[in-house]
Amino acid sequence: MDLHIVGGFLGSGKTTAIINAAKVLMGEGKRVGVVTNDQGKYLVDTAFFHSAAIPAVEVTGGCFCCNYDDLDVRLAQLGEAAQPEVIFAESVGSCADIVATVVKPLLALRAPDTATPRSFSVFVDARLLHRRLLNLPMPFSDEVIYLFDKQIEEAGMLIINKRDLLSLADAHKVLALAETAFTGISLRLQNSLETREVVGWVNALTSGGAKPPLEPLDIDYRRYGSGEAALAWLDETLIFRVPDGAGRGIVCRFAEALLAGIERRDLAIGHVKLLISAGDVSAKVSWATLAADWRDLVPDLPGDRVSVLLNARVETDATELHRLVEEALALAAREADVEADRVAYFHPSFPNPTHRMA
């Protein structure tokens, strides 16, 4: 089994790229599986892969590096259940030091005929990278930016993603700046919504163009831990009981109210993800600090019951993040009965890798 590890910052488009790459490979007759990963227990991305009929397992409650034994178990479970030829493992968007804590242990501790790391791609939002390389103000604190920089530093291949959200001139400019700044790293400028460009990425992975580096990252764990902890996590399951056919409008107004609350407080969003389901209709909607318009992604929602799984990473206090969600739900409750379940909000604990191999 070929294992392709995918890292990179929150909101950089990793999940979209993986699901489209999986579809490309499945269209070629290959069996594909996915391992998702995040700090919470109820992950939008796992449910999204399941909805696309892509076998997926998850490592929850922390990064791959701090839950290596669980990653090992999930890889074995996925191999037994789905017998994939190709596995994508998507790490937490606030995780770094992947080479020393995940890649090298997998190479050293797993049998050669099991899931073997063949590539390590790191995704970055082209707009954020453009700002960073031009030394323009970033939306995050210095500790979070340190994490952003370190993720890029250890890439086997750097995917400068969402290039369609820049002008053509700026997209080529950021690629030229990256070629100067990141010597020795393979670079791709990509729009992961375009099948042709995803095929190019898949071809690079399978041809060895994104081999994981074996030199461990030089990283200050104190700063790394501070950056992770600065990004509060929240997950929550919501049930909206609505007038028949009114679900789309009510969910959009809830999302708009949540975004408005975050904007009023001038908070930086790592990601906010909604998996919306009503009857036989489901859709994933997500946004980050530099968000494109999202409303067109919300479909018409039939019936009088809509479920929403919410995952959020925002640079703020976790209690404040929960309060913002509660305020948005209070507005939605004027039009619908709202039930909240499986609510969790916290700051990630200090990273403590199971293994770290020099």
Residues 145, 239, single domain; the answer is no
Residues 245 and 326 occupy one common structural domain: yes
* Banded model confidence at residue 293, pLDDT cuts 50, 70, 90: confident
Same domain, 75 and 222: yes
- Separation in Å, CA 183 to CA 142, 147, 212, 232: 24, 19, 15, 33
| Whole-number Å distance between alpha carbons of 269 and 261 | 12
Is residue 355 domain-resident? no
Q: Is residue 351 part of a domain?
A: no
- Among 205, 226, 247, where does a domain finish? 226
Number of domains in the chain: 2
The Cα 48–Cα 273 span in angstroms is 11
Q: Are residues 149 and 115 in the same domain?
A: yes
* DSSP secondary structure of 12-78: SSHHHHHHHHHHHHHHTT--EEEEEE-SSSS-HHHHHHHHTT--EEEE-SS-TGGGHHHHHHHHHHH
Helix, strand, or coil (residue 254): helix
The confidence band for 315, taking pLDDT boundaries of 50, 70 and 90, is very high
Do 75 and 213 belong together in one domain? yes
Q: Is residue 264 part of a domain?
A: yes
Q: Residue 115 — very low, low, confident or very high, per pLDDT cuts 50/70/90?
A: confident
List the CATH number of the domain containing 283.
Answer: 3.30.70.360
Answer yes or no: is pLDDT of 290 > 80: no
Q: How confident is the model at residue 200 (pLDDT cuts 50, 70, 90)?
A: very high
Residue 31 scores a pLDDT above 80: yes
pTM for the predicted model, two decimal places: 0.95
As a whole number, mean pLDDT of residues 195-224 equals 94
Average pLDDT over residues 221-226: 97
358 domain residue, yes or no: no
- Judge whether residue 224 has pLDDT over 90: yes
CATH number at residue 197: 3.40.50.300
Condensed to tens digits (0 to 9), the pLDDT of residues 59-77 reads 999 999 999 999 999 999 9
**In-domain check, residue 338:** yes
- Say if residue 206 is in the same domain as residue 253: no
* pLDDT (average), residues 6-22: 96
For residue 352, being part of any structural domain is answered with no
Instruction: Give a yes or no: residue 305 inside a domain.
Output: yes
Q: What percent of the chain has pLDDT over 70?
A: 99
- Are residues 40 and 176 part of one domain? yes
Clarify whether residues 209 and 293 are in a common domain. no
Last residue of a domain, one of 195, 226, 257: 226
Token duo for residue 47: 């449910």
For residues 167-194, average pLDDT: 96
Residues 318 and 347: their CA atoms lie apart, in Å, by 6
In angstroms, rounded to a whole number, what is the distance separating the alpha carbons of residues 119 and 354?
Answer: 21
Q: Which of 56-65, 193-202, 288-297 has the lowest mean pLDDT?
A: 288-297
Q: Spell out the alpha helix ranges (H) of the chain.
A: 14-27, 44-51, 68-82, 98, 104-109, 126-133, 142-153, 168-181, 195-206, 221-230, 247-264, 318-332
**Domain enclosing residue 55, as ranges:** 2-226
